[in-house]
Structure 1
Amino acid sequence: MLSVRDAHARVIAAFEALPAEMVSIADAAGRVLAAPATARLTQPPADLSAMDGYAVRAADVPSTPGTLTLVGQAPAGGSYDHVLKAGETVRIFTGGPLPQGADAVVIQEDTKADGTQITILDAPRQGRHIRKAGLDFKVGDQALKAGRTLSTRDVALAAAMNLPWLSVHRKPRVAILSTGDELVMPGEPVGRNQIISSSGIAVAALVRGWGGEPTLFDIARDDAALIESRIAAGAQHDLLITLGGASVGDHDLVQAALKAQGFSMDFWRIAMRPGKPLMFAAKDRARVLGLPGNPVSTMICALLFLKPAIERMLAQPGDLVATQPARLAVDLKQNDQREDYVRSTLSRAADGALTVAPHPVQDSSMLSVLANASGLLVRPAHDPARTKGETVQIVDLASLPGGY
């Protein structure tokens, strides 16, 4: 069986960045920049006041108190369009442009006004309370680099840079196909020997959260011709996800349907738990990732293989999910030949250390355990027995993007 890392490497090697498209700045949050965002103006465009007060020449008030003559004002959106002369001051407000000749601002609390006579009570320092031109960014600055996933803060910055449109990578279009006579959708009548199909809905939510556009097909019954037609439709997308039917039993029809349409099987078993029956196939530019049917296996395999594939299509590295150290809260027996992703609870010990306690039942059908887990304990293949207090590697589920 293929290792998780070898399978991951094969999957991400099959994908490349999707073409760019232009989107409105209002729709850019969460998208991945395909080209740098370059400022079209300088911000601030001139030296501005950072406070309400008076614009002065610092040399005019070497000591306090000192009195200056008020000759005008510079509100935000307005200006004093004369050179400030010796002994003069201008009333200025936050965001107002500094008059030519002024080199400091005295806040209004440090002044006393008597008509046009303004007494300065605190000696100004050159540059005090001034936002210099270009303090934030200058025209031509590439403040946001290509490959960046845009946050709301980034969108605010791009808007301030006077960018109404941004070049971003097209969202990966991902088709999702669940197969099996035993499946029904939530809310439908559940017959004898039938179960609710939850994996497709979960994968669609993950695709959306990770930056793709999901298309959730109707459940395909165990009919070879029907499955072939759905595969043909799904192959028109950037990626087709199949759920179930990827093993080698008599009723597992997905592999046969793929082979009938000319797809080549890269692999169909990996050494991990949960998720051994994972499949990857290709035909020309079409890619198919076959996830296990059990919902917990689906979710964990999606994290390890689907998320990196989507990231690659968005011009990102597509690395395996990151792990971090934690202290084991219980003893563990030796692991077998499969890398294990153990649903666990993370907590903080009295000394502040992160600890991990595996859930006592790890059945891959138990969504309640995964939903209530705060972490995954990652045990390598053939990991020896571990004792309470040892350092192990975990995935912190709360830190994952996309609402996992």
Structure 2
Amino acid sequence: MPALLPVAEAQQHLFALATPLPEELRPLAQAAGYYAARNVAALRTQPASDLSSMDGYAIRFADLPGPWQVIGESAAGRGFAGEVAPGQAVRIFTGAPLPPGADTVLIQEEAERDGARLTLTGEGPLRLGGSVRPRGLDFAEGEMIIAAGTRITPARLALAAIAGHTELPVRRRVRVALLSTGDELAPPGAPLGPDQIPETNRLLLAALLADLPVELIDLGILPDDRAALEAAFRALDCDLLVTTGGASVGDHDLVRPALEAAGADIDFWKVAVRPGKPMMAGRLGDALVLGLPGNPVSAFVTATLFVRPLIARLAGAADPLPRPRIVPLGEALPATGPRADYLRAELIDGRAHAATIQDSSMLRTLARATCLIVRPAGAPEAKTGDSAEILDIA
């Protein structure tokens, strides 16, 4: 394995470690944001009968240009009980079932009624079936409506409901434990010692993962103490442990040795990405482990590239990776080195403008950013207006 693993290879290593979690049935009202565990088929046909798409009169196309005798009315949820014979029409409203014998709707703006007598005043329907939504226009019973691995969006929830479902097969929630390490860290709002700063990464990560099907477990802040870290790792009960800080090679970077002492197998360590190089991944018992850098921007970038896709994979997503898009650059960018750069940037008038300072400790530039400019390793200098990939982050 190379000393620095390219981002795409690191993502594939993670996916090889991850097996989608067990399936469960969830009520529709609780299924938003999950991923379908298998294909979902319609339990009914929609619409179940031919419906009018306009207010007007149900007629036989062959009877044009009329006149007709109006023999009744069809409304949504209350159709006409009889049958339309030649020369007859039924007053019909949007969403109402087309009565037997009728095959077309004459819209009310092109008709005039005098008692039961109906005459054509406009151009009339131009084709058989005009202003009619035919049976099965949306879907037929047995047709696949949601593919396995597809995220359950609000629209797909509504689709499942109208297709006759009350619950959906999904993967259970991913239990994600968050842990920060470092003697310099204190909880936000707590009194700070002379060399301490407020800890932000657990808050940042919890918010970043909130739209995914997760159960978050807050393990708090642990000091730079190998015994304390090892004890916490041995007591682990989750699907995924995400640590921040202590993942590098300094004397106080104790996450890796503590994980290994607790029985973890480290799959890779160090990724060819900037910011975020000192990131590790492995397995500890039944749990996957991701060790992120402590600098908040590095934690954000690596969580975007690795934590979110890994959770989506565990949750059954067919396509768990973030999707870049192409935009022009707002200014020239220098050539990159052996690591891929993920630059905080803002979209202004459709162009990506990179922040002037990209230091990984600076949260203010991250808060202002709306996207990350993706610059591959070994990329040449880019000119203003050149196309670049971005990942939207706001």
With normalisation by structure 2, the TM-score equals: 0.91
Aligned pairs, how many? 389
Contact 1:356 1:377 survives alignment (8 Å) = yes
Show the counterpart of 1:100.
100
- Change in Cα spacing, 1:375 to 1:59, as seen in structure 2 (3 Å) is closer
- Change in Cα spacing, 1:375 to 1:96, as seen in structure 2 (3 Å) is closer
- Change in Cα spacing, 1:74 to 1:219, as seen in structure 2 (3 Å) is same
Report how far residue 329 of structure 1 moved: 4.0
Contact 1:341 1:378 survives alignment (8 Å) = yes
Report how far residue 325 of structure 1 moved: 4.1
- Change in Cα spacing, 1:35 to 1:358, as seen in structure 2 (3 Å) is same
Is 2:367 the partner of 1:371? Answer: yes
Show the counterpart of 2:30.
27
- 1-structure distance, mates of 2:320, 2:165: 31
Bigger mean CA offset, 126-135 vs 221-230: 221-230
The amino acid that maps onto 2:390 is V
State the secondary structure of the residue aligned to 2:46.
coil
Show the counterpart of 1:11.
14
Show the counterpart of 1:401.
none
- Change in Cα spacing, 1:359 to 1:87, as seen in structure 2 (3 Å) is closer
Contact 1:204 1:216 survives alignment (8 Å) = no
Bigger mean CA offset, 329-338 vs 132-141: 329-338
Q: Which runs of 5+ in 1 are unaligned?
A: 349-353, 399-403
Is 2:50 the partner of 1:47? Answer: yes
State the secondary structure of the residue aligned to 2:67.
strand
Contact 1:310 1:318 survives alignment (8 Å) = no
Show the counterpart of 1:155.
157
Superimposed CA distance per residue, residues 109-165 of structure 1 (whole angstroms, 9 cap, x where no aligned partner): 222222222223344443122121111111111111111112111111111111111
- 1-structure distance, mates of 2:241, 2:63: 74
State the secondary structure of the residue aligned to 1:218.
strand
Show the counterpart of 1:237.
238
Contact 2:335 2:382 survives alignment (8 Å) = no
The amino acid that maps onto 2:59 is V
State the secondary structure of the residue aligned to 1:148.
coil
State the secondary structure of the residue aligned to 1:363.
coil
Contact 1:309 1:318 survives alignment (8 Å) = no
Report how far residue 387 of structure 1 moved: 5.3
Report how far residue 333 of structure 1 moved: 4.0
User: Matches of residues 197-276 of structure 1 in structure 2 within 5 Å?
Assistant: 197-234=199-236, 236-276=237-277
Show the counterpart of 1:351.
none
- Change in Cα spacing, 1:300 to 1:49, as seen in structure 2 (3 Å) is same
Report how far residue 373 of structure 1 moved: 1.8
Is 2:76 the partner of 1:73? Answer: no
Show the counterpart of 1:88.
88
Is 2:42 the partner of 1:36? Answer: no
- 2-structure distance, mates of 1:326, 1:90: 55
- Change in Cα spacing, 1:72 to 1:272, as seen in structure 2 (3 Å) is closer
Show the counterpart of 2:144.
142
- 1-structure distance, mates of 2:210, 2:111: 57
The amino acid that maps onto 2:159 is L
Show the counterpart of 1:181.
183
Pairwise CA RMSD of aligned residues?
Answer: 2.2
Contact 2:53 2:132 survives alignment (8 Å) = yes
Superimposed CA distance per residue, residues 1-49 of structure 1 (whole angstroms, 9 cap, x where no aligned partner): 2233332222221112111111111122221111222111111111122
Q: Which runs of 5+ in 2 are unaligned?
A: none
Contact 2:373 2:391 survives alignment (8 Å) = no
Superimposed CA distance per residue, residues 343-373 of structure 1 (whole angstroms, 9 cap, x where no aligned partner): 233334xxxxx54333221211001111112
- 2-structure distance, mates of 1:333, 1:113: 75
Report how far residue 71 of structure 1 moved: 1.8
The amino acid that maps onto 1:370 is L
Report how far residue 82 of structure 1 moved: 2.3
Report how far residue 317 of structure 1 moved: 4.9
Report how far residue 81 of structure 1 moved: 2.2
Superimposed CA distance per residue, residues 249-276 of structure 1 (whole angstroms, 9 cap, x where no aligned partner): 2222222221211112223222322112
The amino acid that maps onto 2:297 is V
Contact 1:308 1:317 survives alignment (8 Å) = no
- 2-structure distance, mates of 1:244, 1:103: 70
- Change in Cα spacing, 1:359 to 1:269, as seen in structure 2 (3 Å) is same
Show the counterpart of 2:389.
394
- 2-structure distance, mates of 1:366, 1:282: 31
Show the counterpart of 1:120.
120
- Change in Cα spacing, 1:99 to 1:323, as seen in structure 2 (3 Å) is closer
Candidates 352, 355, 377, aligned match of 1:356: 352
- Change in Cα spacing, 1:339 to 1:87, as seen in structure 2 (3 Å) is closer
Show the counterpart of 1:310.
311
- 2-structure distance, mates of 1:332, 1:41: 55
- 1-structure distance, mates of 2:85, 2:310: 65
- 1-structure distance, mates of 2:162, 2:326: 40
- 1-structure distance, mates of 2:95, 2:136: 14
Contact 2:179 2:243 survives alignment (8 Å) = yes
- Change in Cα spacing, 1:176 to 1:52, as seen in structure 2 (3 Å) is same
Contact 1:201 1:216 survives alignment (8 Å) = no
Show the counterpart of 1:292.
293
The amino acid that maps onto 2:23 is A
Contact 1:296 1:370 survives alignment (8 Å) = yes
- Change in Cα spacing, 1:76 to 1:325, as seen in structure 2 (3 Å) is closer
